[in-house]
Structure 1
Amino acid sequence: MLETLVKNSRTSVDAGVYEIRGAARGGRSIKWKEGRAALITEVKLASPSAGWIREGADPEEIAASMVRGGADALSVLTQPLLFHGSPEYFARVRRSVDVPMIMKDIIVDEAQVAAAEALGADYMLLIQSVFDGGYAHNMDEFIEMGHNRGVRTLLEVHTAAEFERAQNTEADLIGINNRNLDTLEIDLGTTEEILAGRNTRSRVISESGIKSAADIARLKKAGAAGFLVGSGIMGGRDIEGTVREMISAC
């Protein structure tokens, strides 16, 4: 699956998907509150594992509901293949809200970093296994490119070994993905196992498989400083209410 996702990104780069004109204002950062973890909610219309989650939905309306519910930041998919995202969706949401936003994609090319800046992204996602697997090269350069363009990095890992390597980078946040990108299986215990007994230099975000306030309470106890929730919110009928409920556990 990871190889497929990388190929999709290269196909999208070659098709000019990330050739963005103009420039939006980025530079926002997540505001960390004393004693409370952060909730990052994701505008995610579809996924490789679930297919369509909310076909035909308006990204701006979804984003507005999430912000009303108290989301600390938004993640928006920009990968068109399998995720049915787009830079256009990101741009529309960016114009409609004033919270920090993460460009969520499988980033393998400098054109995508340039697009993050042009779209006004405050953070971009990089995936440790993409670089460890040789699908893209020199992650440190990508992080530096982002910083030079005013875009922070959320660096995603899935194993303890990847986590240790990630801590030796200049990434601003480390995300632990509870989903195995090869098998697509989810295990919330991944966050617990990786954080057990470890001191962390960066704030850690737990990602994937989070469906309830109880899940958030469990992962906060494990040491996560924030949570990225997509399908667990997007698949419900009351987006604003679900966000409020999850915020109460942060």
Structure 2
Amino acid sequence: MKGVLEKLANNSQTAIKDGVYDIRYANTKSQKNLVDVIKNNKHASLITEVKFSSPSLGNIREISDPVQIARQMVDGGASALSVLTQPYLFNGSPEYFTKVRKGVTIPLLMKDIVVDKIQIDAAQKLGADVVLLIQAIFDNKFAKDIDEFVSYAHKKNLLVLLESHTRQEFADSTKTSADILGINNRNLDTLEIDLATTQSILKDRNEKRIIVSESGIESPKDIQFLKKCGADAFLVGSSIMKSRDIKGLVSELVLAI
């Protein structure tokens, strides 16, 4: 895993040096708390992702108006949106995030490879409600004290989604004060996806916090399987971004439960 993670971490350092996160304005965040939204949703809680490229798939969708895409997702019933701000390998940008923030009112997750607090500062200024942290980034020493990062995000009035992939990473994530715990079904070393990752990690679940299953979700059956495994919400990106009917697919997945 370290080779891929190192590349992703280095990309973030490059983006920091390039001034990508030098945000000089302040957007207004959502009035909705994502944890409450998920707890009160009787259907599947989807965090749908606006991303045009990824390390595993390359170009996913021709770059177009992110707001139009976001509104289709909202119309389909998404509980929140994840918007990529990482420019390298993901074709994301803070500019896309700002456009989406001004175009929708539901909670937004700033999706990036966070290795420095300047990215958390950027998330606050962009109007994010939630920021992503990745357990393996800290375990592999590409960023320092995870507790310090979580605390810093909280001081900026941001919720933290802390993502893990292995049972050990998940166990470590439960020791933090992160608000939401994520399980990435994708192995960052091989880029292979296995939904059984969520099943394995949650086999003996005794965690009370919201748990989000991420990656590899394509159908209502996937949602139903992961729900039975113990997932409370679902982050879905590539399959929706590849779809010719974004609103229809989101609605289909939301109504799987």
Please say whether Structure 1 and Structure 2 have the same fold, judged by a TM-score greater than 0.5.
Answer: yes
Q: What CA distance in whole angstroms lies between the structure 2 residues aligned with 1:165 and 1:24?
A: 33
Q: How does 1:100-115 map to 2 (within 5 A)?
A: 100-115=107-122
Residue aligning to 1:15: 18
Identity between Structure 1 and Structure 2 (%): 54
How many Å apart are 1:34 and its aligned residue? Answer: 5.4
The answer to whether residue 231 in structure 2 is matched with residue 228 in structure 1 is: no
The answer to whether residue 244 in structure 2 is matched with residue 241 in structure 1 is: no
Q: Are the structure 2 counterparts of residues 120 and 34 from structure 1 closer, same or farther at C-alpha, using a change threshold of 3 Å?
A: closer
Q: What CA distance in whole angstroms lies between the structure 2 residues aligned with 1:17 and 1:211?
A: 32
Q: 2:29–2:101: 8 Å Cα contact kept in structure 1? A: no
Q: What CA distance in whole angstroms lies between the structure 1 residues aligned with 2:168 and 2:159?
A: 23
Q: How does 1:115-154 map to 2 (within 5 A)?
A: 115-154=122-161
Secondary structure at the counterpart of residue 106 of structure 1 = coil
Which of 25, 29, 36 is equivalent to 2:33?
Answer: 29
Q: What CA distance in whole angstroms lies between the structure 2 residues aligned with 1:15 and 1:234?
A: 28
Q: What CA distance in whole angstroms lies between the structure 2 residues aligned with 1:56 and 1:198?
A: 40
Q: What CA distance in whole angstroms lies between the structure 2 residues aligned with 1:185 and 1:80?
A: 23
Aligned residues: 250
Q: 1:207–1:227: 8 Å Cα contact kept in structure 2? A: yes
The answer to whether residue 88 in structure 2 is matched with residue 84 in structure 1 is: no
How many Å apart are 1:181 and its aligned residue? Answer: 1.1
Q: 1:205–1:226: 8 Å Cα contact kept in structure 2? A: yes
Amino acid at match of 2:179: D
Which of 184, 197, 201 is equivalent to 2:191?
Answer: 184
Q: Are the structure 2 counterparts of residues 24 and 38 from structure 1 closer, same or farther at C-alpha, using a change threshold of 3 Å?
A: same
The answer to whether residue 61 in structure 2 is matched with residue 61 in structure 1 is: no
Structure 1: stretches of 5+ with no match in the other structure: none
Which of 178, 199, 202 is equivalent to 2:209?
Answer: 202
Amino acid at match of 2:21: Y
Amino acid at match of 1:26: K
Amino acid at match of 2:20: V
| Deviates most, 101-110 or 198-207 | 198-207
Report the TM-score when normalising by structure 1: 0.98
How many Å apart are 1:160 and its aligned residue? Answer: 0.6
Q: What CA distance in whole angstroms lies between the structure 1 residues aligned with 2:134 and 2:43?
A: 26
Q: Deviations over 1:88-117 (max 9, x none)?
A: 000000000000000000000111000000
Structure 2: stretches of 5+ with no match in the other structure: none
How many Å apart are 1:35 and its aligned residue? Answer: 4.5
Q: Deviations over 1:18-52 (max 9, x none)?
A: 00011112263121225444111000111011111
Q: 1:101–1:122: 8 Å Cα contact kept in structure 2? A: yes
Residue aligning to 1:52: 59
Amino acid at match of 2:184: N
Q: What CA distance in whole angstroms lies between the structure 2 residues aligned with 1:95 and 1:5?
A: 28
Q: 2:44–2:223: 8 Å Cα contact kept in structure 1? A: no
Amino acid at match of 1:11: T
How many Å apart are 1:171 and its aligned residue? Answer: 0.3
Runs of 4+ off more than 6 Å: none
Secondary structure at the counterpart of residue 198 of structure 1 = coil
